[in-house]
Structure 1
């Protein structure tokens, strides 16, 4: 049997406009299925994305939905009528924006397997956006408060977390451990230290590996040090692809599996089997 004929799970992707044109998404999903991708967790970033993801999940059985708000939102602050923030300019999320999720009726949603994309983004270019309206420390505190609300929501809905932690790896690790949700947490595109990742792994957390691993020394080091039992696959499509500047697709998932196998010196079939089992267990998907 071809080892890549084993089913793979894309644990984090953004298959919706404007990342992809509406009329190309069906073709991307169909090709992914042909390339043995058995499930794709499509993760929203902004409020409008949540309904779009729901429509996709209802339309295609391979797509599973997430519900959450990215720590980086865009446009004017919801609490101020006049701000210097342009309509599409990125900025830190505000606490009042979480009210959108609090108002959702989860019983009316389809195929929701996790809460996310949520978490922390302490990138300087994001934290500098709201100066002097809010200091860097104030923005970090608000992001942490919104992340805490996502964690509480995940607990109340008995769902795992799909976590963004750019330039904030150890802060995110600390929060999931302190809240006893590490074992139901996926830290995607983790850019923190392997030591912090290993600490999270010791509490049962998962880390996703995207096709960018073929050209990312940091991710290669992370893969080398983390147990396979704590790894899953992702694409973060259209980002984190094997080629810089080329949109990433779920069909590239096998490249990540092959690179993990190369780094760890194990059969790619083993990587495919274990990462898929990990994803099924985390998201409680039927095999």
Structure 2
């Protein structure tokens, strides 16, 4: 019934409890999940989950925040994207959040390596015709500009993809939709402080929406502050349904259908 379109099941807190995680998913009617890769070093483990379980799939990519890890070439990404059950390129994108604290006081100009990494992922996605899983945080202007510069302009032969764990403005949502991208919402939409984001939930067309947990992070209310799990994605769907004044089953059906449309080959 429900699909978690973005989770990190190789991370501590979930990896060592996988049988229990899968049991909880079944009990919550979460039928499928996309396991996200954030470094080349972890790809084998992420991919192994997809190979071992018929309702898991994987991505390949390097998160923009990860430093001191293997920097992939386009060919590195293409080689892994060609493997069975790898359905997307990412998690990729840009993250400028906390320049003073998290980035050691560096400037945005100092993060050119992030922008070049993002371009590599876009080029790989276009070459293999698989969608991008995009992370953008405090960097939406550059994220959108680079997508356009690399040919992701909403027309012609493009990779497409999803802006995952969306926390940006209505303006950014419109721009992403104009480029033909999907928008995915996480447990953040259940937080009391997220009223502006719920307005974006009400705005985004249902046929361009996905839901996710981003496990083990961002557990929805009533589990906020605890380790997140794919079993909690129904709470995201329930908030979408409440915000839009519709039945939760309609949200489940629409977002599951969108998952199948965007990520080819993920039917059960």
* Change beyond 3 A, Cα 1:268–1:17: closer
Show the counterpart of 2:170.
Answer: 194
* Change beyond 3 A, Cα 1:33–1:124: same
Show the counterpart of 1:168.
Answer: 139
- Detail structure 1 runs of 4+ shifted over 4 Å in the superposition: none
The Cα RMSD (Å) is: 2.4
How far 1:35 moved relative to its partner?
A: 1.8
When normalised by structure 1's length, the TM-score is 0.82
Helix, strand or coil at the partner of 1:277: helix
Show the counterpart of 2:252.
Answer: 272
Residues 103-182 of structure 1 aligned to structure 2 (within 5 Å): 105-106=79-80, 109-125=83-99, 129=103, 131=105, 135-139=107-111, 141-178=112-149, 179-180=151-152
* Change beyond 3 A, Cα 1:107–1:69: closer
Residues 194-213 of structure 1 aligned to structure 2 (within 5 Å): 194-213=170-189
Structure 2 stretches of 5 or more lacking a match? none
For 1:260 and 1:68, the matched residues in 2 are separated by 29
When normalised by structure 2's length, the TM-score is 0.87
* Contact residue 218 and residue 225 of structure 2 kept, 8 A: no
Of 24-33 and 168-177, the range deviating more from structure 2: 168-177
How far 1:9 moved relative to its partner?
A: 1.4
For 2:253 and 2:100, the matched residues in 1 are separated by 38
| Bigger Rg over Cα | 1
* Change beyond 3 A, Cα 1:138–1:125: closer
* Contact residue 59 and residue 88 of structure 2 kept, 8 A: yes
How many residues align structurally? 258
* Contact residue 72 and residue 126 of structure 1 kept, 8 A: no
* Contact residue 35 and residue 59 of structure 2 kept, 8 A: yes
Structure 1 stretches of 5 or more lacking a match? 1-6, 79-95
